[in-house]
Structure 1
Amino acid sequence: MTWNISDKELGQLVEQMTLEEKVAMVSGYGLWRTAANYRLNIPEVLMTDGTYGVRYSIEQIDGPQDSDSQLAAFLGVVNADLSRGVEGAFGSTRPATCFPNGSSFACSWDVGLARELGEALAAECQAFGVNILLGPGINIRRTPLAGRSYEYYSEDPVVTGEIAAAVINGMQENGVGASLKHFACNNSEVQRTTMSSVVEERALREIYLAGFERAIRKSDPWTVMSSYNRLNDVQAAENHWLLTEVLRDDWGYDGVVVSDWHGIKDRPASLNAGNDLDMPESGARKQELLEAVEAGRVPIEVLDRSCLRMLKLVRVARNNIKPNATADHKKHHYLSQRMAAESIVLLRNEGALLPLDAGKLRKIALIGAAATVPVIQGSGCATTRPTEVDIPLAEIRLMAPGAEIGFHAVSDFEAGSSTEAAALAAVDGADVVLFFGNTEVGYDGEGSDRTHLNLHDGQDELIQRLSQRNGKLVVILATPDAVVMPWIDRTAAVLAAFFGGQGAGHAVAQVLFGKQNPCGKLTVTFPAQLEDTPGFLTYPGENNRHIYSEGIHVGYRSYDKRKLAPLFPFGFGLSYTSFEYANIAIDTDTIDASSAFKVSFDVTNTGSVAGKEIAQIYARPHAPRLIRPVRELKGFAKVALQPGETKRVEVTIEARDLRYYDPDHRQWLLDAGNLTIEVAASSRDIRLEAVLHAQVPALPSSILNVESQPYLVLEQEFARKRFGIFLKQQLGLDDEETEKMLEYCGGSFLGIYNTVAWVAGDKISKIDMAAFLDNLNKEMGMAIGNAA
């Protein structure tokens, strides 16, 4: 079962392969396997989908492996109708734990719990004989409409990268490889295989790639999966800049890049770009690659390198197999419940309606189909057939055994229907009304974006109507991402569970009745209306191009910059207790590009019940050289506190995370001068702050050339001093004359060369001026540092 083989022997295997065998090595076998080579005793590797659960399709994995059968099975999953229920859509899928989806679980901000998730996923993979699980998915949630938002963690790359790294480490330390996906800018499902995400490089580096870089640096996933979409008009699976220049050259990644399923359109181009493995098997693409190698369009060295990467992947996968492994599904169900409970966000709690006191409740009215058929996950390739499902109605009955609990569907309230009067009477007579709301089941998922941010099937209108009849209305939401809430001001309490997995029903009941103090916080901004979202004017694109017009101002960065009030801000979440922050300290006053520093502060539980607080660390630059967000998240900590307890919290921040990317300099730079470190309860609730000084040379606002206006050369002391020395030497000036020349230059609107030439004639050539400025640019770039 194991495959103990040295690096030298792996290289010899590549040398022994025929061209056809090499092509097979970098191509799938069927839908979910790599190709075994029986002549050379090279075993296969089995992979399957799952960002929050293991989707083991019996027909696809254990059934016929011919291309027609496999394609039909694959399309059946992608296009599955979840409105028929998970078992109806995936009846031949082995049961596995359906953990909270990414948009839900990330609201826990719990890195330790993320590692536990990875460990549990690995255990179930080992029990199924799966070597690689195709996840986690970590694309930035740029728009709440995006169909796969439910799989992804956040609008912010720091939260995204930290959670992803922990999940990956939990998996791979237990012998199952991860496939970090979808690389990159898979932020919409509209024409997802042909649409080009048009993104400026700075936004790419600072927002859309940053979470991937962070996860890779902290976990080294066995594989990275290229995405379906085009990126800046080049197919992601064929994008040399993305897969080689950034992923491998800049980040040092040397694992396998695998395509999304049928994501490659030009196989030779994809291999040349750095996409090693083509999935699933395609006879046409294998032939295309074979002919390209024979014709010299793909160098044999490129093919050999990918073959070697594949062999290393096979070795690590086979050597980590745990024979006769079993999974404790009951234990994992409890984990699913705990994850859901840690992730639920309390958005509103007027009059402290929650937690409910079961002993004082006589009648409880439950409304909405999700109370009896819970909406626990999105649709698509990640969908898991759960081992069991907690039903909210049943869980609430357990929590309040002495209360009369009635249930009504939304349709029961249809005006003029035979059920309307009884349903309204139940609402009128209830001590509390629990409304289980959701978005459209089966539509929120892979293959299609949502078309609006409202709840499904007239639910918004019904909530408004019911709120006028009973002031003790609690809305429990099961949604993939943000929704609008036109009824929010009339509703007493709101819980956001997102897609909370198979244990969400139990978790919701625990939170409602105070057995669990809600501690989740939002990892995206909730807009007041769709039109407020940062990319609204250019979504979803046209003519196969989707321009990311907001640039770096994604999510809360945009709301802050525009001073626009969101419905709920990034990082927001209420508790049944209260917290105070005090005594911020930073262990240094100054930093440079290679520094790390510690932010410490006290958090006190000032309420009467135990709770957990998620403290967030933001950085706010004072005088940024380029346009930057008002503040950006740089770290966080989750702290558990008993009533009256105070804990000292310490968060380490690396200066590399304070940098911005300058496309002209083509490097990461640290702004010179002061910045404020903020400790916050949310992006709009800053509790503490302290000033830090970045002691690096200040750069001009743009790269200098002979046409640059002179003030750009003179605005920073470093450049001004060098320019003065240059003029003094070239023109034979004394100190006083040099200073007068600098003052003269500072008042000119001409380019720097023409300004000097106007008074100095040909004493300085344009070539010499250009050479000086080029060297000055390099000198300043080196001085400011580029921390790796």
Structure 2
Amino acid sequence: MSWNVSDRQLAALVAEMTVEEKAAAVSGHGLWRTAANYRLNIPELLMTDGTYGVRYSIDQIDGMQDDDGQLAAFLGVVNTDLSTGVESAFGSTRPATCFPNGSSLACSWDVGLAHELGEALAAECQAFGVNILLGPGINIRRTPLAGRSYEYYSEDPMLSGEVAAAVINGLQQNGVGASLKHFACNNSEVQRTTMSSVVEERALREVYLAGFERAIRKGNPWTVMSSYNRLNDVQAAESHWLLTEVLRHEWSYDGVVVSDWHGIKDRPASVNAGNDLDMPESGARKQELIDAVKDGRVPAEALDRSCLRILKLVRTARNAIRPNAEVDFKKHHALSRRMAAESIVLLKNETAVLPVDAAKVGKIAVVGAAAVEPVIQGSGCATTRPTEVDIPLDEIRRLAPNAAISFHGATDFEAGSPSEQSALAAVEAADVVLFFGNTEVGYDGEGSDRTHLSLHAGQDELIGRLGRHSGKIVVILFAPDAVAMPWIDGVQAVIAAFFGGQGVGKAIADVLFGKQNPCGKLTVTFPVQKEDIPGYLTYPGENGRHVYSEGIHVGYRHYDKRKLAPLFPFGFGLSYSTFEYSNISTSADRIDASSTLRIAFDVTNTGGVAGKEIAQVYARPHNSRLIRPIRELKGFAKVELRPGETKRVEVTIDSRDLRYYDPAYRQWLLDAGRITFEAGASSRDIRLEKTVEVAAPALPSTILDLESQPYLVLEQDFARRRFHDFLKAQLDLDDEEAGRMMEYCASSFLGIYKTVSWVAGEKISKAAMASFLDNLNKEIGETVSKAA
């Protein structure tokens, strides 16, 4: 079972392998395994999807299949239509706990809960004999239309990285490897294997890669999965810059890079780039690699490095196996319920229509098919066959046994139908109407983006219509991401459950009747309309290229910068209680590039029931050299409070997380000046603030050259002094004359060399000026490097 071999023995195994054996070692065997080598006694590993549940296909994993059969089985799951039901979609898939999907779980803002998810997934993997689970997925939810957004956590990389690291640690501390995916910029399913995500380097570094770096730094996943798409016109699985320069050299990652399934187009190029494991098995790609090694297009040492990484992974995973592991599915179902309850977001609660008092309510009208067939997950490779499913209508009846509860499908309200009048009469007579709405089932998911932000056909219209017949409409939403709400002013309450997993039915009922005080908060911004989405003008791309035109202003950064009112802001969520913030302080009034700052403040429950508040800390820079967002999330804390109770909340922030990336300097920089730290209940509900000074080198706006306008050379004291001394020496000036020369230069719109030569003629050569500027840039760069 275990495989106890030393590093020296692993290196000896690689040296003993033939080229063909090495090619097999870095290739899959079938759909879900690595290749065993019986000659050298190298065992195999088993991996499977997904990000919120274990999808174990008996046919694909345990059955014997040829290449065509494997691909057909794989595509059968990828392209499955969940509208026909889980059983038909999954056939012989083993039941496993379907936990809340990523877009739901992250709304808990609870890293402890995320760790518990990892632990539970690991327990089920151990029981199934799975060594690596292909998740978590943390691509930025750049647009709510993205087909796989239900798997991902947030539009913010800091939050995404924190949740992912917790899931990874929960998995790997219990003997199951994680696969952090999809690296990188898999933010749309439109032509997903050929579309190039065209992203400027600042946005790439600060937004789309930052969550991966954080998760790797804090979780060190055994594997990282490269994405299907091209990144800046290079296939992600074949990008040396992404997989070697950034991932290996800058981030010091030493695990295995595995391809997404059939994500490699050029196998030799992928090995040279640092993509170790090619999944699933492909005889053609193996032969391409063998040929490339033999003719020198792939250096032998590159293949050997990948082989050694995979053997180390096999050793780690095999030695972590827990023989005869068993899993308590009832316990995991209870965990799924708790996770769903912690993640539900209360978006509106006008006139305190919620919670419903079960002892007093007389009549309840429940509307919508999702009340009896809850939409618990998205569609695609991550989809899990649940062990059981809580039905919302059943749970509502359980909590309100004395109420008269009627149920009505959407067809009951069709104009002119026999049931129309009786259904409307039931709505009008009800003390509360619970409308269960959902997006289109089985369409938005892996392989296709949504085309709109509406609910499933006719539901938006029906909600609006029912709102004219009742003043007590509560809308419960099952959706992968944000939806538009044209009916919002006509309903009294809105609950967002997202895709809450198999226990979401009970969780919803508990929130509706006050058994659970809602505490979830949004991890994305809800736009009023599709046209408000950042990057709307260039989505979904054309001619194979998708330009990320909003740059660094993703999600709430976009809405803040444009002063655009969202439907609901990032970080927003209501409670049945209220919370006040007070007494903010910082551990220092001045920080530098190596500082760790603690921000503390009091949170008080001023309501009448116990509840949990998710307090968020944002950083707002002053007078930045480069364009910056108004504010960015830098920390958060979830605090549980009894009525009237006050707790001191402390959030720790490292200076490294306050930096921005300057492509000109090719470095992460911290600006001198001031930063204000804001504590609040959402990105648009700032309650407290505290400003600190930042000690850092004062830098010019950009790298200087002969065509730089003179003010750029003169804007910092450091550069002014150097330029003053240069003019004195080159033109034989005294201090006063050099000062007047600098005043003249400051007002010129010409480049620095042309400005000086206009007055001084040839006394300063172009080469001398260029040398001065190069040395100045070098000196500035050295200063920045020392400060960092």
CA deviation map 1:444-473 (0-9, x unaligned): 210100111000020000000001111101
Corresponding residue of 2:554: 554
Q: Is 2:15 the partner of 1:40?
A: no
Q: Is 2:334 the partner of 1:365?
A: no
Residues 30-69 of structure 1: pairs in structure 2 closer than 5 A: 30-69=30-69
CA deviation map 1:25-48 (0-9, x unaligned): 100000000000000110001000
Distance 1:64 1:236 in 2: 31
Deviation at 1:732, TM superposition (A): 3.2
Deviation at 1:785, TM superposition (A): 4.1
Distance 1:199 1:418 in 2: 56
One-letter amino acid of the structure 2 residue matched with residue 410 of structure 1: A
Q: Is 2:503 the partner of 1:538?
A: no
Distance 1:296 1:254 in 2: 25
Distance 1:307 1:17 in 2: 10
SS in 2 for 1:311: helix
8 Å contact 1:609–1:642 — kept in the other structure?
yes
Distance 2:146 2:782 in 1: 41
Deviation at 1:422, TM superposition (A): 1.4
Deviation at 1:420, TM superposition (A): 0.8
Residues 509-658 of structure 1: pairs in structure 2 closer than 5 A: 509-658=509-658
8 Å contact 1:604–1:645 — kept in the other structure?
yes
Deviation at 1:535, TM superposition (A): 1.1
One-letter amino acid of the structure 2 residue matched with residue 98 of structure 1: C
Residues 291-302 of structure 1: pairs in structure 2 closer than 5 A: 291-302=291-302
Distance 1:374 1:116 in 2: 24
Deviation at 1:327, TM superposition (A): 0.9
Distance 1:146 1:409 in 2: 29
8 Å contact 1:591–1:693 — kept in the other structure?
yes
Distance 1:768 1:213 in 2: 42
Corresponding residue of 2:214: 214
Distance 1:721 1:643 in 2: 61
CA deviation map 1:354-379 (0-9, x unaligned): 01100111111110011001100000
1:195–1:275 Cα change, 3 Å: same
Corresponding residue of 1:254: 254
Distance 2:654 2:668 in 1: 13
Q: Is 2:314 the partner of 1:326?
A: no
Corresponding residue of 2:269: 269
CA deviation map 1:425-455 (0-9, x unaligned): 1111111000000001111210100111000
SS in 2 for 1:360: coil
Corresponding residue of 2:676: 676
8 Å contact 2:370–2:438 — kept in the other structure?
yes
CA deviation map 1:524-564 (0-9, x unaligned): 00000000001111111111111111111111000111110
8 Å contact 1:713–1:719 — kept in the other structure?
yes
Distance 1:246 1:545 in 2: 23
SS in 2 for 1:455: coil
The count of residues paired between Structure 1 and Structure 2 equals 788
8 Å contact 1:522–1:570 — kept in the other structure?
yes
SS in 1 for 2:637: strand
8 Å contact 2:108–2:519 — kept in the other structure?
yes
One-letter amino acid of the structure 1 residue matched with residue 585 of structure 2: A
8 Å contact 1:534–1:555 — kept in the other structure?
yes
Distance 1:566 1:485 in 2: 11
CA deviation map 1:99-131 (0-9, x unaligned): 000000000000110000000000000000000
Corresponding residue of 1:344: 344
Distance 1:463 1:116 in 2: 37
Corresponding residue of 2:304: 304
One-letter amino acid of the structure 2 residue matched with residue 462 of structure 1: L
One-letter amino acid of the structure 2 residue matched with residue 574 of structure 1: L
Deviation at 1:761, TM superposition (A): 3.1
CA deviation map 1:31-68 (0-9, x unaligned): 00000000011000100001000000000000014212
One-letter amino acid of the structure 2 residue matched with residue 123 of structure 1: A
Corresponding residue of 1:484: 484
CA deviation map 1:324-357 (0-9, x unaligned): 0111111111110000000000000000010110
1:170–1:786 Cα change, 3 Å: farther
8 Å contact 1:592–1:694 — kept in the other structure?
yes
Distance 2:776 2:219 in 1: 38
Distance 2:484 2:786 in 1: 42
Deviation at 1:657, TM superposition (A): 0.9
Distance 1:219 1:772 in 2: 45
Distance 1:658 1:780 in 2: 20
Distance 2:172 2:773 in 1: 49
8 Å contact 1:475–1:491 — kept in the other structure?
yes
Distance 1:703 1:142 in 2: 31
8 Å contact 2:396–2:509 — kept in the other structure?
yes
Distance 1:451 1:435 in 2: 23
One-letter amino acid of the structure 1 residue matched with residue 272 of structure 2: N
Distance 1:217 1:765 in 2: 49
SS in 1 for 2:416: coil
CA deviation map 1:52-100 (0-9, x unaligned): 0000000000001421221111011111111111111112000000000
SS in 1 for 2:576: coil
CA deviation map 1:198-228 (0-9, x unaligned): 1111110010111001100111000000011
Corresponding residue of 1:29: 29
Deviation at 1:763, TM superposition (A): 3.1
Q: Is 2:182 the partner of 1:179?
A: no
Distance 1:704 1:270 in 2: 37
Distance 2:715 2:74 in 1: 60
8 Å contact 1:668–1:786 — kept in the other structure?
no
Distance 2:433 2:466 in 1: 9
Distance 1:719 1:24 in 2: 58
Q: Is 2:420 the partner of 1:420?
A: yes
Residues 104-183 of structure 1: pairs in structure 2 closer than 5 A: 104-183=104-183
CA deviation map 1:680-726 (0-9, x unaligned): 11000010001111111221111101111110000111211222222
Q: Is 2:754 the partner of 1:741?
A: no
8 Å contact 1:31–1:65 — kept in the other structure?
no
Which piece of structure 1 moves more, 688-697 or 728-737?
728-737
8 Å contact 1:557–1:630 — kept in the other structure?
yes
8 Å contact 1:14–1:22 — kept in the other structure?
yes
8 Å contact 2:239–2:270 — kept in the other structure?
yes
SS in 1 for 2:359: helix
Corresponding residue of 1:686: 686
8 Å contact 1:606–1:643 — kept in the other structure?
yes
Distance 1:726 1:244 in 2: 41
CA deviation map 1:725-750 (0-9, x unaligned): 22223333332222222212212222
8 Å contact 1:669–1:785 — kept in the other structure?
no
Distance 1:785 1:530 in 2: 43
Corresponding residue of 2:728: 728
8 Å contact 2:697–2:787 — kept in the other structure?
no
Q: With structure 1 as the length reference, what TM-score do the two structures score?
A: 0.99
Corresponding residue of 2:757: 757
Deviation at 1:786, TM superposition (A): 7.2
Distance 2:129 2:466 in 1: 51
Deviation at 1:759, TM superposition (A): 2.9
Corresponding residue of 2:375: 375
Distance 2:7 2:273 in 1: 24
8 Å contact 1:525–1:566 — kept in the other structure?
yes
SS in 2 for 1:61: helix
Which piece of structure 1 moves more, 767-776 or 732-741?
732-741
Corresponding residue of 2:16: 16
Question: Which 5+ residue runs of structure 1 have no aligned equivalent?
Answer: none
SS in 2 for 1:178: strand
CA deviation map 1:620-649 (0-9, x unaligned): 111111111111111111111110000000
Please report the RMSD computed on the Cα atoms of aligned residues, expressed in angstroms: 1.0
Q: Is 2:461 the partner of 1:461?
A: yes
8 Å contact 2:341–2:518 — kept in the other structure?
yes
Q: What fraction of aligned residue pairs are identical, expressed as a percent?
A: 79
Q: With structure 2 as the length reference, what TM-score do the two structures score?
A: 0.99
Q: Is 2:699 the partner of 1:703?
A: no
One-letter amino acid of the structure 2 residue matched with residue 254 of structure 1: D
